[in-house]
């Protein structure tokens, strides 16, 4: 049986793993059909609008919670990662640990902010091209990180608070709040990460959501993988993927896991 | 998007809500403020919440002295990229229509105000909710004149364990 893919912290990726990720992303960006970056980014907002966010209310003013936020995005990342692997079989989606102490300035990981990669070529993690002329979008993605008033990245204390929430509904809601903050800070006033419409076209979206998925993974390790998911949700279909909620509860069954930690030193 | 197209902050002050003076209620371990019917069609924004401070603005320091108790962030859709009618939420679902709900159905945002409420209203009483909303992001499809801060109900929930 093949070993699971190990997703790692982008800040401590080896030169080789970062190069694999960049090669795979660049490969997807060069494909204009339904294997390509533009297509898969377009599943989230423009033009397909398939993502799940937020809780909504029913007619009776009771919570009609649709907490499919975590399962849907897990299926989304799984599919995206498979297309990366079609290009570079050893590539993986790695996570951006955006936890930032209040005393430190919020910032993007170098892997995603550098203009070029180690090979001197343009860094495909910096931006992508949005190509949906029917939706009036034909341009490169942009970032304006840190420019939105009052926004900062979540703190370690914010993340620690997640481990006090034993209810899946409460955990999912609070994690989504942190998720919203990261989108807001990263996009800034004029960038693309800040709205559902175009967020997934920014390559850092995938590292941000790998972090979200990792935090759910850690929560599942702590409280149990099936724990707390309302029974009526388990058969919910995660459109447009050929998966139900019950299919995405165990990351090992999807062929990946998360590194506990990683570090490196330049010699 | 030039700065000129970013809408100015928008404000709302609620009628009075009540925190019961019943000692059992005041013994709460968690107090949540729920905002129902929140619109999320256009601009993303951050809404700062103040209790009993109807004059709070975006310039007001977000601390307990100013009665700030928390915030919610709306990660919104960024405007309509479709044809006419694309972003109109259907009022009712037809029988046998099993499609997923419209993604623009109004949402619920929840703010944990436990710590602030304990300190600001230790004996319970009436309080107003001031919402100061500032745009954090938008797209080329957002209207600078849009009324982005819209919701239809505020609900206080206290719990004790």
pLDDT tens-digit series, residues A18-51: 999 999 999 999 999 999 999 999 999 999 999 9
Question: What is residue A58's predicted lDDT score, i.e. its pLDDT?
Answer: 55
Residues of chain A neighbouring B72 (CB-CB closer than 8 A): 177
At A135-173, the pLDDT tens digits run 999 999 999 999 998 889 999 999 999 999 888 888 998
User: What is the rounded distance in angstroms from the CA atom of residue A213 to the CA atom of residue B75?
Assistant: 18
Residue B147 confidence class, pLDDT cut points 50, 70, 90: very high
Lookup result for tokens 């860094």: A123
3-state secondary structure (DSSP) of residue A115: coil
| 8 A C-beta contact, residue A76 and residue A209 | yes
Two tokens, residue B16: 């009075």
Q: Is the pLDDT of residue B155 over 60?
A: yes
* Inter-chain CB proximity A194 and B103 less than 8 Å: no
Question: What is residue B136's predicted lDDT score, i.e. its pLDDT?
Answer: 95
ipTM for the assembly: 0.91
Residue A56, number of CB atoms within 10 A of its CB: 21
> Structural domain boundaries of chain B?
18-81+94-128+139-159
At A43-79, the pLDDT tens digits run 999 999 999 988 776 544 455 556 899 999 999 999 9
Q: What's the whole-number mean pLDDT along residues B44-52?
A: 97
- Which positions ≥6 away from A136 have C-beta within 8 Å? B81, B140, B141
Question: What is residue A118's predicted lDDT score, i.e. its pLDDT?
Answer: 83
Q: What's the whole-number mean pLDDT along residues A182-205?
A: 97
Question: What is residue A265's predicted lDDT score, i.e. its pLDDT?
Answer: 54
Q: Within the 11-40 window of chain A, which residues sit less than 8 Å (CB to CB) from chain B?
A: none
Two tokens, residue A162: 């997640």
Q: Is the pLDDT of residue A10 over 80?
A: yes
How many beta-carbon pairs below 8 A join chains A and B? 117
In three-state form (DSSP H/G/I as H, E/B as E, the rest C), the secondary structure along chain B is: CCHHHCCCCEEEECCCEEECCCHHHHCCCEEEEEEEEECCCCCEEEEEEEECCCCCCCCCCCCHHHCEEEEEEECCCCCCCCCCCCCCCCCCCCCCCCCCCCCCCCEEEEEECHHHHHHHCCCCEEECEEEEEEEEECCCCCCCCCCCCCCCEEEEEEECC
3-state secondary structure (DSSP) of residue A16: helix
Put simply, whether A71 touches B (Cβ < 8 Å) is no
Q: What's the whole-number mean pLDDT along residues B136-146?
A: 94
User: What is the rounded distance in angstroms from the CA atom of residue B47 to the CA atom of residue B72?
Assistant: 5
DSSP code at position A95: B
Q: Which domains does chain A have, with CATH numbers?
A: 5-258 (1.10.1280.10)
* Inter-chain CB proximity B107 and A54 less than 8 Å: yes
Residues of chain B neighbouring A171 (CB-CB closer than 8 A): none
Question: What is residue A167's predicted lDDT score, i.e. its pLDDT?
Answer: 87
Please calculate the CA angle B97-B99-B102 and round it to the nearest 5 degrees: 110
The whole-angstrom distance between A90's CA and the closest CA on chain B is 33
């Amino acid at each position: 049986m093949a070993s699971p893919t190990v997703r790692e912290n982008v800040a401590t990726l080896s030169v080789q793993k970062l190069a694999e990720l960049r090669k795979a992303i660049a490969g997807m960006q060069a494909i204009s059909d339904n294997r390509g970056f533009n297509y898969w980014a377009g599943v989230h907002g423009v033009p397909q609008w398939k993502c799940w966010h937020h809780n909504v209310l029913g007619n009776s003013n009771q919570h009609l919670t649709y907490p499919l936020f975590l399962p849907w995005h897990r299926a989304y990342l799984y599919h995206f990662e498979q297309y990366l692997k079609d290009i570079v079989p050893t590539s993986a989606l790695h996570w951006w640990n955006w936890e930032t102490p209040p005393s430190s300035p919020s910032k993007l990981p170098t892997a995603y902010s550098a203009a070029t990669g180690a090979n001197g070529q343009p860094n495909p993690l910096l931006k992508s091209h949005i190509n949906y002329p029917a939706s009036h979008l034909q341009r490169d993605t942009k970032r304006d990180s840190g420019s939105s008033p009052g926004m900062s990245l979540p703190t370690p204390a914010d993340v620690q608070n997640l481990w006090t929430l034993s209810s899946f509904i409460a955990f999912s809601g609070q994690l989504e709040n942190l998720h919203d903050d990261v989108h807001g800070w990263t996009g800034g006033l004029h960038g693309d990460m800040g709205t559902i419409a175009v967020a997934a076209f920014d390559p850092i979206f995938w590292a941000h959501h790998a972090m979200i998925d990792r935090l759910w993974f850690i929560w599942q390790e702590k409280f149990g993988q099936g724990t707390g998911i309302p029974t009526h949700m388990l058969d919910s279909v995660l459109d447009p993927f050929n998966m139900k909620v019950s299919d995405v509860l165990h990351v090992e069954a999807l062929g990946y896991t998360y590194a506990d930690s990683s570090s490196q030193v330049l010699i | 998007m030039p700065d000129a197209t970013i809408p100015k902050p928008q404000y709302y002050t609620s009628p009075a809500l009540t925190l019961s003076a019943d000692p059992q209620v005041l013994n709460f371990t968690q107090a949540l403020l729920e905002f129902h019917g929140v619109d999320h069609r256009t601009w993303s924004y951050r809404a700062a919440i103040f209790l009993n401070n109807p004059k709070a603005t975006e310039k007001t320091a977000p601390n307990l002295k100013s009665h700030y108790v928390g915030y919610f962030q709306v990660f919104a859709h960024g405007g309509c990229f479709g044809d006419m009618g694309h972003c109109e939420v259907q009022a009712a679902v037809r029988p046998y229509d099993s499609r997923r709900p419209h993604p623009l159905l109004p949402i619920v945002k929840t703010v944990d105000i436990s710590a602030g409420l304990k300190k600001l209203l230790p004996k319970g009483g009436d309080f107003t909710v001031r919402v100061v909303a500032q745009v954090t992001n938008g797209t080329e499809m957002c209207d600078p004149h849009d009324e982005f801060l819209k919701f239809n109900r505020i609900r206080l929930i206290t719990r004790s364990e």
